[in-house]
Amino acid sequence: MPNGPTEEIVWIESEEGIRLDGAVHRPAGRAPKPVAVVQVHGSTGRFSHPGHIRIGRELARQGYVSVTGNNRGWAFGELTQRRGERVMIGTAWERFNEAPLDIGAWVDFAMGLGVPAVALLGWSFGGLKVVSYQAQRQDPRVAALVCVSPGPVTDRMTPPAERLALAERMVAAGHGGDLLPWLARGGTLSAQTLLDRAPANRATFDVFGLYTPNPAVSRVTCPIFACYGSTESDGLPELERIRRAATAASRVDIRVFEGADQAYTGREQELAAAVAAWLDGLA
């Protein structure tokens, strides 16, 4: 598009060598602002989803470099390579505690574009990932977190007892990477991925503290912006929980987008403009 943002397809490797695909949007005809926005998609997402591309383009129009990249929770599954070893990645095989290996690699890449800092924008399950990343690593390069409709951790995430028991038996037998039987509703996951969601492991995901004292978000010190669409039933209570739990953050701002759904369908430019304005206000 004439005088519009530039777009580039890129490929990087996670910190342990898994190829990750992505895109970079840059402002045209002007120097970029000093923070690059790194988008982290949610379960079954992908860097090329129209929502991520539209947000990247609008952020670039607002003067921000935007990087959107796949993480190992993209799509359902993909057979890929990790330094010569064949491995399965994708939502059905994802281990939440491995997310920093992808996010850290995208932060490294973004910093290589010549910006002094990055903001992590996590969408849905990606919102939990960016909070967990920053709580664990305290990465000084991360200037802010943006959590867009971060997937709430509720009892709906807890698998039925009989399915957990089957997953436990499969893992014990050395078949943790095998898929559980398909459900008529809800699909399937690998045994190990499902076992990660057992109540005993729930604190890993519970970054906002629905069940967990001193959750991950309480260890994040940078500014946080969190938002939901008003049509999301879990949005309002989750926003208040985030504000209460983020006790160490230098600033916490929340917003409800009236009439928006979780995908912000038709509202991507509005969302991106709001994020850009918030980042502008941090300068």
pLDDT for 192 beyond 90:
yes
Same domain, 19 and 149: yes
Q: What percent of the chain has pLDDT over 70?
A: 97
Q: Which DSSP string corresponds to 83-101?
A: TTEEEEESGGG--GGGHHH
User: Would 203 be classed as within a structural domain?
Assistant: no
Mean local confidence (pLDDT), 169-198: 94
* 114 and 242 fall within a common domain: yes
Q: What is the pLDDT of residues 29-66, one digit of tens each?
A: 889 999 999 999 999 999 999 999 999 999 999 999 99
99 and 125 in a single domain? The answer is yes
Is the confidence at residue 1, as pLDDT, over 60?
Answer: no
**Of the candidates 65, 71, 54, which has an alpha carbon nearest to the alpha carbon of residue 19?**
71
| Mean pLDDT within 75-88 | 93
pLDDT (tens digit per residue) in 121-171: 999 999 999 999 999 999 999 999 999 999 866 666 778 899 999 999 999
Looking at residue 154, its pLDDT comes to 67
* One-letter amino acid of 138: Q
Provide the domain count of the chain: 2
Asked if 58 and 190 sit in the same domain, the reply is: no
Global pTM? 0.95
The residues, any chain, with a CB within 8 Å of residue 141's CB and separated by 6 or more, are 107, 111, 117, 118
> 262 and 185, same structural domain?
no
**pLDDT over 70 (residue 3):** no
255-278 CB burial, b ≥16 within 10 A, e <16? eebeebebebeebbbebbebbbeb
| Helix 99-111 / helix 125-137 crossing angle, nearest 10 deg | 80
Q: Which of 197, 199, 206 is nearest to 238 (CA)?
A: 206
Q: What is the domain extent for residue 17?
A: 6-156+208-282
| 132 contacts 99 by C-beta, under 8 angstroms | yes
